[in-house]
Amino acid sequence: MKNLMLVGFMLLYSAAFGQRTIKEEYKLKFDDVLNLIEEKYVEHPDYTALVDEAIIGMVKELDPHSEYMTAEEYQKMSEPLTGNFEGIGIQFNITKDTITVVSPISGGPSERLGIRSGDKIVVIEDTVVAGIGITNRDVIDKLRGDKGTKVRIKILRRKVKDLIDYTIERDKIPIFSLDASYMLTEDIGYVKLNRFAQTTMQEFYEALDELEPQGMEHLVLDLRGNSGGYLNTAIQLSDEFLADKELIVYTEGVSNPKRESFATRRGRFEKGKLVVLIDEGSASASEIVAGAIQDHDRGLIIGRRSFGKGLVQRPFKLRDGSTLKLTTARYYTPAGRCIQRPYEDGNDEYRKENQRRRDNGEFFSMDSVHFNEEDKYLTDNKRIVYGGGGILPDIFIPLDTSESSDFLTELLSNGLFYQYINEYVDENREELNSKYPDYESFEKGFDPNDEFMDKFLEYAKHELKHNKDDKLNKDDVEVSVNGEEVEIENMEGIKKEANKDMDKMIEEGLATSGHIIKTRLRALLARTLWQTEAFYRVFNAEDHAVKKAIESIDDKTFRKLKLSYN
């Protein structure tokens, strides 16, 4: 009788109020927990922190790219894509616990006031910031701010006795998505994009406007390391290469019906050979462009398998100003390939993918990449391409480790290339500007000769040995025997042996990595004198993928693969 009454009550409840959904039950459960904490917990908790952590934990269980962000976090995340931030306009490194200006950003307030590379910021708003363990985040927090606000700094400049006082009025600082655009040969242009932002298409058009009058007939588009950005920008860029009404990409999700994006008539580079360079750092928007070009046989893809991010995120503003960046659909290439790599094993395993690829040999051999038969697709000209995660290139370029050495690793990890070049430019600025008034004169005339290299090696050896000695300082070394700490009596002998090992490492490293060390020094010197593009102009002259791109444009590769370019 009781059971009949209960069933009758539930039927009446459902009819009167409607059956609760599973989602509503979970909401009530969450409310129950909050209510219990409010009514029964031993003290007053921080509800903001509680709810934020609960949301973060919940979103973490969805997929690797859905994300919850506070209002401040979302603003900082958006800055590189909106194309500007507000601050004083410098690129900096922290060298020997001191903020060192790598270069002022062109057109920014610091450049207008005469701040230059090599300057050391030692005081900000009457607070000494040198030698205190300052971090990159600290520097950004102190120097960024709203347009029109001011910040006072003191700078230490070589050969200037006293500190130089500056009051800098913050302004909008442009963030460029195009790192370089120049002519590789008489008829091959080169463009490198680092992201797909609001300003990308304007920057790309400006690059074409400069390259086409110089005789550009073919193009190398470098998307290596480009982790993506705005979907619309990727569609717009693809449109510049594809014919009218060709499918660029489509998106689809459980709550989002299939949405297709097609090329229009306005493409500026629909004719001419096109090479797209990709690697394991090319993701999302980069993969949309590469996939569309490959599926329509419009160009040649060179490099290594791309990252494999094919999930579409849409930001949703929450009532307190925070944002939920929620995955709402998947990307698919024109042939129907899903770009997204699997993530069923969890976010932590997902993020280890590149290390697994390296361990499995994929960075070094195309044969190490394995796909299932169901991942095969056909391009317009019936070439076989593969899905299952990422874009597989038409021509594979292995990761080159032939010039790697322990010495090169030490130089990179200790930031010694940057440190030395900053000091070298600071010491020789007038001579360098006089001898090399433009990049062309530098390219023809500057060579890291024996004197230059000897000074660098002397500097590097001093810094590395100093760092080793610091680590071996007996006050910092704990040695125990049977649980009891003991003194190290022969620390000087240990240091001498360590220095012998250092000398051997440097000697062997020079034999293996001498060429790449010289190239990196030339490239960084060029960047310090003429901004980022100059770095790539030096480095690309030695780059295997760029060389292969030029070779493939000049030989019969496009005809052999039936790629369209006329």
List the catalytic residues. 284, 295, 309
Q: Rounded to 5 degrees, what are φ and ψ at 341?
A: -80, 160
Contact by Cβ (8 Å): 70, 498? no
Chain-centroid distance of CA 545 in Å reads: 19
Say how many CA atoms lie within 13 Å of 311 toward its Cβ.
16
Are 262 and 273 spatial neighbours (Cβ–Cβ below 8 Å)? no
Going by their DSSP bridges, the two strands 218-222 and 480-481 should be labelled as unpaired
**To 10 degrees, the CA torsion angle through 532, 535, 541, 542?**
-130
Q: Please list, residue by residue across 258-288, b when 16 or more beta carbons sit within 10 angstroms of its beta carbon and e when fewer do.
A: eeebebeeebebbebbbbbbbbbbbbbbbbb
d(CA 329, CA 466): 53
Q: For residue 76, how many other CB atoms are within 10 A of its CB?
A: 14
- Position of tokens 């003429």? 530
Helices 416-435/450-472 angle, 10° precision: 150
Q: Where are the beta strands (DSSP E) in 323-425?
A: 323-332, 376-378, 384-386, 395-396
- Residues with Cβ within 8 Å of 166's Cβ and at least 6 positions away in sequence, in order, are 113, 115, 152, 153, 154, 155
Query: In whole angstroms, how far apart are CA 528 and each of 192, 280, 418, 437, 536?
Result: 18, 28, 9, 13, 12
CA–CA–CA angle 265, 268, 269 (5° rounding): 110
Closest CA to 341 of 354, 328, 360, 326: 354
State phi, psi for 120 to the nearest 5 degrees.
Answer: -115, 120
Pick from 347, 313, 327, 318: nearest CA to 70: 318
DSSP 286: H
- Do 300 and 546 meet the contact criterion of CB atoms below 8 Å apart? no
User: Facing residues of 167 across strands?
Assistant: 152
State how far the Cα of 397 lies from the Cα of 216, in Å rounded to an integer: 25
Give yes or no for a contact between 193 and 223, defined as CB atoms under 8 angstroms apart: yes
List the structure tokens of 360: 């499995």
Query: β-strands 120-124, 98-104: how paired?
Result: antiparallel
Tell me the two tokens of residue 496: 């001498």
